[in-house]
Structure formats: C-alpha cells, structure tokens
C-alpha cells in the first residue's frame, strides 16, 4: 500500500512538474540545445543556459504592453466584480429575497454554456455602441467580470454567512449606523475571504483567452494569452515561446505563494465563544 501510494503521488507529481520543467528548460536553452538537426538527442538540461530570450522579450515593447494590458484588465475585473459581487453577496446572505433561486440561476447562466458559444452574444453586445466606444481594456475587464461574478458572489456569500450576525447587531446596539457597521466591522472581517475572491478573479482574467480574443483581435491592444497566439502564428523557436509562457506563469506562482498563508488564517477566531 505504501509503495503504491508513493508511486501514485510520483506519477501525479510528474504530470504536474514535467511540463513546467520542459517550459522552463526551453526558455533558458541556447540554440544548440534545441536545434539539433537530429544529430544528437536534445539534452536534459541546456548546454549553455541563457537568459537571452528574456532579454529579447524585455526589449520588445509589444510584450510589455500586452503584460500591462493583462494587468489592467485583471485589476478592472477584480474591482468590478468586488464592487458588484460583495454587496450582492451580502444581500443574499442576510436577507430573505423572494425568487432567490432563479436569481442565482441567472447569475450562473453565462457559465453554463461553453465559453465559445457564450462569447458570441457578449462580444456582439460589447462591440456595438455604446460599449464599443470604451477602450478595449475596459471591455475585456467587463467580460471577465461577467465570467468571475458568479464565483465572487458565491465565495463572498459564504464569507458573509460565516460572520456572526451577532457582531452586526452588537454594533447596532452600541450605536453604529449601518454604514459604519459595514465599514468598520464587516469589511475588515470579510477582507481575507474577499481577497480570495479577488485573487480568483485576477487569475481567471489573467488566463482567459476566448473572450479577450474576440474583443481585441482587431486592435493592437491585447492581453498576454492573445499576444501569445499572435506570436505562435509566426512559428517562433521553442525557446522564445517558452520564455513567454514562463513570464505568464511566474506572477501567478509568486502571488499564490505570497497570499495563500493569509487566506488560510481565519480572522473571525475569538469572535464568538
């Protein structure tokens, strides 16, 4: 049993780590390590590891521009989905609302279709006036908000439900109006949970391809995944394309490491009992 367990874990790890390894390896490969002409096998590790491709990317304005676009789109999606999602979730968590099941169903509906069919009406809407007057960054941000909102609402609903109602009533009894109860009691307590929703939204946006593609393929301003496709269309070398992939992954990995500890800490400890 023990051996089997380790073998299984090993297999799973291999499937996760191996592609990452290959991607990283190619991104730092020198020319001889990838262009072998069949004369010798590709080395397990590059002969002469080099950061050349990263340097090249750094010097290319369009890559940085796509990175910045992705960043802005992500932040916009986070802002929109929290501004809309948190109050919605609060209302869903605290008040009895008739027809709530139907509301929640509609909220989820956009995710019930495959993205490739859902994108058509959404793009159709966003690419016609008055929306089309907005900059592409905002359009993609809105589309990503649409995709993230159901999750934001569901996560935030759970967050608000986990905050004891007593705390709000207590603030109320101590004289706090609704607004300061929300700002001084609820918001600080909900923050870690809402942070989780924000991170989820940001990653969704950072990775999202289909909606971003439909909304930006005509223009020059694109997000990183769409940019990657454009590069792919002129069949570049493995090392160049891998370097782009690495740069798309790195922020996600670093960010996850930084925040996961904070997200796990339950801030409500000690509130009741």
Partner 1 sequence: MAEVRLKDLTKKFKDVAAVDNVSLNVRDGEFLTLVGPSGCGKSTTLRAVAGLENPTSGNIFIDGERVNDLPPQKRHISMVFQSYALFPHMTVESNLAFGLKIKKKGPEEKAKRVKWAVELLGLSGFEKRLPKELSGGQRQRVALGRALVLEPKVLLLDEPLSNLDAKLRLRMRTELKRLHKKIKTTIIYVTHDQAEAMTLSDRMAVMKDGRILQVGTPGQIYEKPADVFCAGFIGSPPMNFLPGEKVPQVKDKNVVVGIRPEDLSISLSRIDAGIWGRSSVTETLGSDSYLHVDTSEGLVSVRLKSDQGILEDKPLWLVSHKEKLHLFDKSTGRRIT
- First-to-last alpha carbon distance for the chain, in angstroms, is 43
Report the residue number, 180 or 220, with the smaller CB distance to partner 1. Answer: 180
Report the residue number, 168 or 221, with the smaller CB distance to partner 1. Answer: 168
The yes or no reply on residue 94 touching partner 1 (CB under 8 A) is no
Cα–Cα distance measured from residue 212 to residue 66, given in angstroms and rounded to the nearest whole number: 12
Here the tokens at position 49 are 């590891």
Rounded to 5 degrees, what are φ and ψ at 217?
-65, -20
The yes or no reply on residue 177 touching partner 1 (CB under 8 A) is yes
In angstroms, give the least distance from the CB of 235 to partner 1: 55
Q: At what angle do helices 187-207 and 238-264 cross, to 10 degrees?
A: 170
The yes or no reply on residue 195 touching partner 1 (CB under 8 A) is no
Q: Which stretch binds partner 1 (CB under 8 A): 38-46, 98-106, 228-236, 264-272?
A: 264-272
The yes or no reply on residue 189 touching partner 1 (CB under 8 A) is yes
Report the residue number, 14 or 172, with the smaller CB distance to partner 1. Answer: 172
Q: 130-136: long-range contacts at Cβ-Cβ below 8 A with a sequence spacing of 24 or more?
A: 135/221, 136/69, 136/215, 136/216, 136/219, 136/221
Report the residue number, 167 or 231, with the smaller CB distance to partner 1. Answer: 167
Report the residue number, 49 or 266, with the smaller CB distance to partner 1. Answer: 266
The reply to whether omega before 83 is within 30° of 0 (cis) is no
The yes or no reply on residue 175 touching partner 1 (CB under 8 A) is yes
Report the residue number, 164 or 251, with the smaller CB distance to partner 1. Answer: 164
Q: Which of 133, 144, 157, 132 lies closest to 79, judged by CA? A: 144
| Residue 183 burial (CB count, 10 A) | 11
Cα–Cα distance measured from residue 255 to residue 53, given in angstroms and rounded to the nearest whole number: 23
In angstroms, give the least distance from the CB of 172 to partner 1: 5
Binding partner 1 (rule: CB under 8 A), the pick from 185, 231, 252, 259 is 185
The yes or no reply on residue 173 touching partner 1 (CB under 8 A) is yes
Q: Which of 144, 162, 4, 166 lies closest to 76, judged by CA? A: 144
Report the residue number, 45 or 172, with the smaller CB distance to partner 1. Answer: 172
The yes or no reply on residue 174 touching partner 1 (CB under 8 A) is yes
Contact 20, 43 (CB under 8 A): no
Rounded to 5 degrees, what are φ and ψ at 220?
-95, -20
Here the tokens at position 184 are 């001084």
Q: Which stretch binds partner 1 (CB under 8 A): 101-109, 172-180, 198-206, 237-245?
A: 172-180
Query: Pattern 208-247, binding to partner 1, x per CB under 8 A?
Result: ----------------------------------------
| Contacts to partner 1 by CB under 8 A | 164, 166-167, 169-177, 180, 185, 188-189, 267-273
């Amino acid at each position: 049993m023990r051996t089997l367990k380790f073998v299984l874990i090993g297999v799973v790890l291999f499937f996760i780590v191996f592609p990452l390894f290959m991607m990283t390896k190619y991104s730092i490969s020198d020319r001889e390590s990838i262009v072998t002409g069949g004369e010798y096998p590709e080395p397990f590790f590059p002969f002469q590891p080099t950061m050349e491709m990263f340097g090249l990317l750094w010097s290319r304005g369009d890559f940085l521009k796509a990175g910045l676009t992705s960043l802005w789109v992500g932040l916009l999606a986070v802002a929109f989905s929290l501004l809309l999602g948190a109050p919605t979730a609060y209302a869903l968590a605290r008040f009895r609302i008739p027809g709530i099941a139907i509301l929640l169903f509609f909220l989820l509906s956009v995710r019930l279709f495959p993205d490739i069919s859902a994108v058509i009406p959404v793009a159709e809407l966003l690419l016609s006036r008055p929306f089309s007057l907005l900059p592409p960054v905002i359009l993609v941000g809105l589309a990503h908000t649409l995709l993230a909102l159901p999750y934001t609402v569901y996560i935030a609903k759970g967050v608000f439900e986990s905050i004891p109602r007593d705390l709000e009533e207590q603030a109320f009894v101590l004289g706090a109006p609704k607004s300061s109860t929300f700002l001084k009691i609820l918001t600080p307590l909900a923050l870690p949970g809402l942070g989780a929703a924000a991170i989820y939204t940001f990653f969704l946006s950072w990775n999202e391809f289909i909606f971003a593609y439909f909304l930006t393929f005509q223009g020059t301003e694109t997000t990183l995944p769409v940019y990657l496709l454009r590069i792919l269309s002129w069949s570049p070398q493995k090392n160049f394309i891998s370097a782009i992939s690495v740069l798309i992954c790195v922020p996600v990995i670093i960010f996850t490491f930084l925040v996961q500890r904070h997200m796990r800490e339950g801030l409500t400890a000690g509130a009741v009992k």
